[in-house]
Structure 1
Amino acid sequence: MSVADLAGTQEDGLFDAVVQHWAKARIDNPLQVASRLDDSARQLIAVGGILEGLLIAVFTFGKAIDNPPSDYVIAAFLSLLVMSACAAITIYTQTKDLGAFPIYQMLRQPGPTRLKSLDREVKDWCDTLGKVVALKRGWLTAAFTAFIVSLAAICACTLRMLH
């Protein structure tokens, strides 16, 4: 028996439960994705801070102080700063409107109108959350790209110092 077969039978309660569970899972998923993107951005910021500290320590306390910072070190610092900025924007990106007032207005409406309003509000909220997740994913991709560039610059700088 498929889920579609449950509609219009004595098992309407089961059908309603399946629909409610599916809807909850579909609504919760974008929130979990946004949370994981924020966590990834926080980890990039922490790793970037450690790398910046190590670069400063190497050039301040190591033998590298005799050599002026090369183009690779400047590239590493700049890309780590860009990475931190993009990761911070990832965390900062949130929905502009929590939708509290439209929900309040919807709850004040009579029954049949309320259902149409609920449908519209859920669709608008899902669309907004989808856009926020896409923005977060884009900023995190930019942060990760800058992180890779900084690692390449640090490796090049390390190889240059060894020779």
Structure 2
Amino acid sequence: MAIPVKKSLEHPKASWLKQLEYQLKLEHYKRQGYPIIYMDESGFEKEVLRAFGYTLQGLPCIDKYNWQQKHKTNVIGALYQKTLFAIDYFKTNVNWKTVYHWFKDTLIPKLNRKCVIVIDERGQVSVWGTLTRSARRELCSSGQLS
């Protein structure tokens, strides 16, 4: 008989030292009076491929899916306290140009003072990392981003 192993509630790659460092940085900016804005992007498929389905007994469960279809809607938005703002959606793939134009045309005009923007780096593509160095420099030199 196998002995069950209890699951850990912590992520195996989580580092408490990095978490503490991150929280101290955020507290430092908050004490200076900077608003903390969180930014993220997400994609939504038009059709969802399902792994399971229902059919009459004795018949195979077969479905059709168009793998060449590129109908995906991407949404980028920002969150300040509990308010979602600067939301924009795109019918194209999110790349550095899309993120750059979202920052430049949607987010920065809505900011009325200098702030700190926290970007989710866990995704498949790092949003801030996809921006070219010159695009990052231009956005930060606008005086709104830290």
Instruction: Name the TM-score, length of structure 1 as normaliser.
Output: 0.25
Larger radius of gyration: 1
Higher helix share: 1
Query: With CA pairs under 8 Å and 6+ residues apart, which has the higher RCO, 1 or 2?
Result: 1
Higher strand share: 2
